[in-house]
Amino acid sequence: MKRTVLEMLSTAAEIFRSNIYVSDKTDNGWQGLTFYQVEKNSSHLASGFICAGVSQGDRIAIISEGCSRWIVTEYAILKSRAVSVPLSVKLQAEELIFRMEHSGTKYVVVSKNCFQKVLQMKEKLLALGIRVIYLDAKDAQSELYKEEIPNLLFYDDLIKDGQSYYLEHSGELTSRISSIEESDVVTICYTSGTTGNPKGIMLTHLNYWANSHDAVQFFRLENNLTTLVILPLDHSFAHTIGFYCATLCSIKLCFVDARGGLRNQLKNILPNIQEVEPDFILSVPAITGNFMKKIKDSISQKGKFTDKLFRLGLKCGITYFGDGFKKPSVIKRALNYPVYSFVDKIIFSKIRKIFGKNFKFFIGGGAMLEIKQQQFFNCIGSPVMQGYGLSEASPIISVNQRHRHRFGSSGGVLSGIDCKIMNSEGKELPQGEKGYITIKGLNVMKGYFNNQKATDEVISSDGYLNTGDLGFIDKDGFLYVTGREKALLISADGEKYSPEEIEDAIVNCSEFIYQCVLYNDHNKYTSALITLDKQRIKNYALAHKITSSEKMLEVLKRSFYNFTRDSAYKNSFPTQWIPSVFNIVEEEFSQQNQMVNSTMKIVRFKVIQNYKSVIEKMYTKDGKNDCTENLAILERIIK
């Protein structure tokens, strides 16, 4: 038996034949396809692809929000022995063209919501010879597109044509499927470009097969759970669990209602959670952070007494649970449990209902999740089982298990992966020492597409992948990720430090700061760029009758350094890395200004490039103490 994702789907179609695999919200409610239907439809679509001229090895890009048709399309691409190139709906037209041209894309499958981008790119697509496939059901608007896009193909027509072609030429599809090898590339996933130009990561059938089996076994994921898919399917984390882990234990994938575009999709998350009542949700820190902020805001609006009781319950709960792995003393637990239990009954239990009556946990990934979020969600009874990975590793490397977890960590390393912490000379470091995280296993990518040099830079001759992340493994086997190598701060004397933990601490301990980027490139002190939660600033100024920007800046400064007094972070960071000066950036970092990527991470090098002059000013004698611009921005906010 070949270890391929198509074998996984075939097995699921037999074992879980009538179980719902994928489901979309429609005008008639939630409508789904079973594992058997996905298997059958993907075979028909694959035959349609062959009939339309798809050759073995062709690259077929997909630009769409998460939906059932995406799942069917990817399996169809693989059955025709082509390669899927999943692309983010949030990429700009020029970014999409770069990836399609680099990968040698021959076809691009596009949803209705994303079709305007096709119209922007049509001349370039035509020049590159890329044919367009319309993913959604035909409507009046799609008929008009046929006049603008030469040789436009339709998903529905390809299914129909494929049914006929399959009856007459089933041997062609069978031949292609049987010739698939474990080493064949399934997807070319492009890096998000947080530190430079994106690279095409080639992940094979064996990569996905191994990572899916290891993850399900390690996490002890039971059968027949339901999840609401919030993350985009081009996200490697959602891709592996959404597509492939689901086939191993019959996970029902319900996709957030995206009808009407991204804005509607965001609005639909909470209503869809109530309708679907998921058992778990895949998340990234930006999403859980947003949930946490909204919950806290909602509680504060219920009055001072409720807010104080809520905060007391959190404090007692955090003490009661300890770090999740090592429990506090019996006395500490006994002293804190009564208050925590009382608040749980009257407040936390009501908060849990936001996520539906069946909700058990989040699985977190995509970026580092700092400890305060882990403590918060554990206390309210909706824990985040934080993991760690990267696309080059298919992507899951480690995860906290429900039966064994430690807050602040990224959990234990999956059984099928060998993880070593190395120093800059390539020597393995002892337990507890911080260094470069390297891994070896069947989940490690085949390489970067058309970029052997970059491949050789990250995969050693003995098969170890240098993740580019720094971290350590503690005595209990928990992996801690402390930051990206390329994001390191460098002091005047050459010492290096990862900024992410301090940035998270600043944001999580300040009620006014929305985003934070630290900077130090061989300087005597560290600086920071921050964006603000403008509405909170306005509300605070109004409530405290502050009309002076000077007064508001004093409040903001105190808030900025709250983390140095917080018990979770106090004395955690060396003084030289704590910013001596900060500058307010009026426009928040976002996907629109290309300073946040599709996984909601800040693209650090773009922020630094864009605000180079602001940063340089903070390192001049006058600039370090010049508050003029900060005062001007605060003046505009509070007025």
Q: Set out the domains of the chain in order of their start, with CATH numbers.
A: 5-203+232-262 (3.40.50.12780), 488-638 (3.30.300.30)
Strand 105-110, strand 131-134: pairing: parallel
CA dihedral (331, 335, 340, 341) positive or negative: positive
Over residues 169-215, the pLDDT tens digits come to: 889 999 999 999 999 999 999 987 655 578 999 999 999 999 999 99
Q: Cβ neighbours of residue 70 under 8 Å, at least 6 residues apart?
A: 62, 64, 135, 233
Say how far apart CA 580 and CA 523 lie, in whole Å: 12
**According to the model, what pLDDT value does residue 58 have?**
98
Reduced to 3 states (helix: H, G, I; strand: E, B; else coil), residue 299 is helix
**According to the model, what pLDDT value does residue 367 have?**
73
**According to the model, what pLDDT value does residue 225 have?**
98
Are 421 and 408 spatial neighbours (Cβ–Cβ below 8 Å)?
A: no
Peptide bond into 395 cis (omega under 30): yes
Residue 29, phi then psi, degrees to nearest 5: 95, -165
Number of H helices, E strands in the chain: 24, 27
Say how far apart CA 334 and CA 379 lie, in whole Å: 16
Question: Which stretches of the chain drop beneath a pLDDT of 70?
Answer: 193-196, 598-599
Are 117 and 93 spatial neighbours (Cβ–Cβ below 8 Å)?
A: yes
Q: Which two tokens stand for residue 403?
A: 């039966």
Say how far apart CA 521 and CA 524 lie, in whole Å: 9
Exposed/middle/buried for 475, CB within 10 Å: 0-12, 13-18, 19+?
exposed
Say how far apart CA 364 and CA 382 lie, in whole Å: 12
Reduced to 3 states (helix: H, G, I; strand: E, B; else coil), residue 201 is strand
**According to the model, what pLDDT value does residue 194 have?**
53
Partner residues linked to 279 by β-bridges = none
The backbone region for 37, taken as left when phi is positive above 0, alpha when psi lies in -120 to 50, beta otherwise, is alpha
DSSP 221: P
Q: Give Cα 470 distance to the centre of its chain.
A: 19
Q: Provide the edge-to-edge strand list for the sheet that holds 521-523.
A: 496-497, 489-491, 521-523
In order, the DSSP letters of 19-57 are: SEEEEEEETTEEEEEEHHHHHHHHHHHHHHHHHHTPPTT
Helix segments in 344-441, DSSP class H: 349-352, 371-379
Q: Provide the edge-to-edge strand list for the sheet that holds 513-519.
A: 513-519, 527-532, 581-584
Half-sphere exposure in the Cβ direction for 490 (13 Å, CA): 7
Over residues 451-480, the pLDDT tens digits come to: 999 999 999 999 999 999 999 999 999 999
Say how far apart CA 430 and CA 585 lie, in whole Å: 42
Helix segments in 129-154, DSSP class H: 140-148
Reduced to 3 states (helix: H, G, I; strand: E, B; else coil), residue 194 is coil
Reduced to 3 states (helix: H, G, I; strand: E, B; else coil), residue 187 is strand
In order, the DSSP letters of 450-495 are: T-HHHHHHHB-TTS-EEEEEEEEE-TTSBEEEEEEGGG-EEETTS-
pTM of the predicted model as reported, rounded to 2 decimal places: 0.87
CA distances from 152 to 109, 140, 428 (A): 10, 15, 55
Number of Cβ atoms within 10 Å of the Cβ of 263: 8
